[in-house]
Amino acid sequence: MVGTVGNVAARSLEDVNEPSAVTEHPYYHPLPGTAWEAVDEAEDLLGAQAPLVTLANWQEDPHHAWSFQHMRELMPSQVIDGTDDPRPLAEATGEVGGIPLPETPWAPTVDSLLAATETDAFLVVHRGTIVQERYHAGMNRRRRHLLMSVTKSVVSAVAGSLTGSGLLDPDAPVETYVPELARCGYAGASVRTVLDMRSGVKFSEAYLDPDSEVRVMERSMGWAPRNHGDPLGMYPYILTTTAARPHDGVFDYRSIETDVLGWICERAAGRRMADLIADLVWRPIGAFHDAEIAADPLGCAVHDGGMSATLRDLGRFGLMLLDHGLVGERQVIPAGWVTDAAYPPADVRAAFAASTNEPYLPGGWYRSQFWFVPGDAGPILLCLGIHGQMVFVEWSTGLVGVKFSSWPTPQNADKLVATIGAFRAIGRACPTLSWRCPDACGPDLTGCPEGVS
């Protein structure tokens, strides 16, 4: 047994849906006859610029650590505008590194956990005040980091906003918004089906199998070099899907569901995703820095994991979720969008319990592109991305946590469960710790000026 959430063991994800064969490029197999077949030989031409990081190897260790902070140099990107009037964030100095983690013997304190989990940046916000902020591996307040599938939760916020304005009906068939979906495996699914990842399409999310559907889709969207016969673009790939079982059954985490959802949102609003995020989410939450989202060869945003953002702005996104969609006096997304996900219908929990994810996040569920696990006094919301990206929101303690990481492998149950446990331990400990404002406002932070950055 390698990890627990609650009192139930969580097994390692490394042997789930991952082939045993070792390949030169575990994420990408160039076909003979393509220019990419000999791409590694080009490194000799670079001299001082080596090592060579390209679409063929950017997800591999150790290149991924650099790539996650430089996505705009690897793929076309679209700007998501921030605001000149950002949400102020109060700051306090304190130390959470010594908080013990008794359930993680290989990382017995928060400090050791951060060191053992390839942390690039780390943020803790307690009841609206930043109490811990760290940067490693070249990260800083201005630098964007790839969110991976945390992007899915941002797209969910767009869907929630469109639902609140009457432009999107979660119960409508997907064909209502994208008629082309009637001729592929998504025919007959509803918007809710893809929001909760319960479609019956044939699609494997086996990250280390270069021939799995998720890797073919990534090649189609330009996340890796295209091979002969790959569709050109994400939406053309979606239209090649076929059905493997009825819709609305077991929960099955597949990135393509978010790409379908993003397509639906764009059609419902008549606008591209980068602008929808900027106008409906990013500026309304008071994000200071522009974010970016990678785009495929057709100029379509990679809805399932292509967004890059700064640490503090992702913390602002978490604060919006903590306050049930409210930022100041503005309801950015309907409160019901968050509460429905946190307290879902019984079949949502049953669909998760029957899935392969139950052993790793026991008692959890997935709703509207958010993960949930039970906490000490209510649910904990999680936005998760491979290689260790996380937003942690716990209403009972008022804690928002953000972690950027560069795990060497896409999935690691030990590190996932331990990171969740660390944020829970911080939330429990915060009321007993003393924080001091850097402007000497006193330990209770009374009258603390709010620093903006």
Of 73, 52, 75, the C-alpha closest to 219 is 75
Cα dihedral angle (107, 112, 114, 118), rounded to 10 degrees?
Answer: -80
384 CB-near residues (< 8 Å, 6+ apart):
149, 150, 371, 390, 416
First to last CA, the chain: 42
* Residue 214, token pair as written in the block: 């998720």
Of 83, 63, 84, 87, the C-alpha closest to 74 is 63
Task: Please say if 149 is a catalytic residue.
Answer: yes
* Residue 61, token pair as written in the block: 């260790």
Q: In angstroms, rounded to a whole number, what is the distance separating the alpha carbons of residues 115 and 419?
A: 12
204 CB-near residues (< 8 Å, 6+ apart):
17, 212, 213, 214
The partner residues of 279 in beta bridges, in order of sequence, read: none
- C-alpha separations of 219 from 215, 252, 285, 297, 301 in Å: 6, 22, 33, 10, 14
- Active-site position among 77, 149, 161, 406: 149
Cα dihedral angle (281, 284, 287, 291), rounded to 10 degrees?
Answer: 30
Active-site annotation, residues: 149
